[in-house]
Amino acid sequence: MFILRFFLAALVAISVIGTAAYFLSKSTRFQVFGELVSRGSSQHPCVALTLDDGPSPKYTAEVLDVLANFDAKATFFLTGQAVVAHPALVADIAAKGHEIGNHSFSHPRMVGMSQSRIESEVESTDRAIRAAGYTGPLHFRPPYGKRLLGLPYYLKKTNRLTVLWDIAPETDPTNNSDATEITRRTLADAKNGSIILLHVMFVSRAGSRAALPEILAGLQAKGFTFVTLSDLLQHKNCVST
């Protein structure tokens, strides 16, 4: 009887710990170590548009042209593999006044990963971005937003900011590729200081690319300014349009 009770108690404990770890790994509001940001100040009518993955030789130029048409600045969280493959695109992003962030080298789920592997994923991407000529701030966004203990610990140890989001209009699995719905969700949810997550660098993200000009036009019509992540956090260049 004692062994049975012990076994059942152990199962309950494992279940509770597993559930807690799952919710912690995906939380956009809390992590155990280091500084996390998912939204900027609510005092100013500006938002940060963050674009994950890439750069892509097929779509980066198109995205940059759309941003230029609206005089909007964005923050591109790039993967090291793509940076190494396309350094000229990285330089072009930076030359047009956008910010660049680190999105790991190979885009793995960085949960349960060794410190040496975390170091490799983070530092090799930093080096690749710097080698492409970018000299601005380098914040980090975990792939899929996933992290538990090891990654936040490493980021804290190396004085890096973890950047997440408060608006992710593509995450509804029932309708995550429809441009109209992506635009609607973004316009409905945006607030002063919002950090918006979009993916526009792959062929499968046609809906998000189509939504991009509608999002820019719609939020600017509401009086929002699009600024880089660092400017959002430092309350710079946040003026009504």
Closest CA to 56 of 83, 75, 77: 83
**Residue labelled with tokens 């660098």:** 201
Q: From the candidates 44, 52, 53, 126, give the one annotated as an active-site residue.
A: 52
Sequence-separated (6 or more) residues with CB below 8 Å from residue 96: 64, 67, 68
- Phi/psi region, residue 64 (left: phi>0; alpha: psi -120 to 50; beta: rest), is alpha
Is residue 128 within 8 Å of 2, Cβ to Cβ?
no
Can you tell me the distance from the alpha carbon of 79 to that of 233, in angstroms, rounded to the nearest whole number?
23
Is residue 77 within 8 Å of 53, Cβ to Cβ?
yes
Closest CA to 123 of 105, 149, 101, 142: 105
Is 52 among the catalytic positions? yes
Widest CA span of the chain, in angstroms? 72
Give, in order, the Cα–Cα distances in Å from 228 to each of 40, 44, 56, 145, 225. Answer: 11, 14, 20, 19, 10
Sequence-separated (6 or more) residues with CB below 8 Å from residue 119: 154
Q: From the candidates 86, 98, 103, 199, give the one annotated as an active-site residue.
A: 199
Amino acid identity, position 151: L
**Residues annotated as catalytic (active site), given as ranges:** 52, 199
